[in-house]
């Protein structure tokens, strides 16, 4: 019985050989083409947090402004063409912001609060909440086209990918307008 079990185990192990790179050098030499692969009806939810501190000094006077924003967003892949370009419908679901000037009480905005509480400077932001815009992206993450609506005039939000293949640990640069 032991001999039978040993033979079966040896046979199974001989069939389950895994091909591993012989050296790390081989693995590091492998190049990858980075591309987005859009899938129709795919939803992606994400959160964007930002905090900016601006210090202005004039003569002896110094003023510090702190702006924070927490934005919950999502996009849905509407359609993918033959070239792999994806039509994405983007939407802002929730925004919470504050701006603090010097030692003053911060001006705040929370899209979950009633509209009556909004300060004038946040009216345009409220107008964008829940309003979809469409942007067409290439598999490289570059904007192909976008809505002509004023709220769609921002740059794309996907990270542009390099046209050339890259190795593990390599980096690339992207210029923005």
In the chain, the number of structural domains is 1
In order along the chain (177 residues), what is the average pLDDT of each group of 10 residues? 43 48 65 96 96 93 94 96 96 94 89 82 89 94 78 69 93 80
176 in a domain, yes or no? Answer: no
Complete DSSP assignment for 91-145: EEEEEEEEEEETTSPPEEEETTS-GGG--GGGHHHHHHBT--EEEEE-TTS-EEE
20 in a domain, yes or no? Answer: no
SS3 (DSSP) at 41: coil
Q: What is the pTM of this model?
A: 0.68
40 in a domain, yes or no? Answer: yes
13 in a domain, yes or no? Answer: no
Task: For residue 67, give Cα distances in angstroms to 53, 73, 74, 104, 130.
Answer: 7, 19, 23, 13, 23
Structure tokens at 159: 């990270």
Write down the pLDDT at residue 12. Answer: 42
Domain limits for position 58: 35-167
């Amino acid at each position: 019985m032991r001999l039978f079990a040993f033979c079966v185990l040896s046979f199974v192990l001989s069939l389950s050989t895994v091909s591993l790179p012989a050296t790390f050098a081989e693995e590091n030499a492998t190049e990858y083409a980075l591309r987005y692969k859009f899938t129709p009806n795919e939803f992606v939810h994400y959160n964007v947090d930002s905090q900016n501190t601006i210090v202005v000094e004039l003569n002896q006077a110094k003023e510090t402004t702190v702006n924070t924003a927490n934005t919950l967003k999502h996009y849905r892949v509407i359609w993918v063409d033959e070239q792999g370009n994806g039509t994405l419908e983007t939407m802002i679901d929730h925004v919470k912001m504050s701006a603090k000037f010097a030692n003053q009480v911060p001006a705040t905005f929370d899209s979950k609060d009633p509209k009556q509480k909004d300060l004038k400077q946040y009216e345009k932001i409220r107008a964008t909440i829940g309003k979809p815009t469409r942007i067409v992206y290439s598999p490289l993450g570059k904007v192909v086209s976008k809505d002509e609506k004023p709220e769609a005039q921002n740059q794309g939000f996907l990270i542009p990918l390099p046209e050339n293949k890259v190795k593990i640990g390599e980096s690339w640069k992207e210029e923005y307008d």
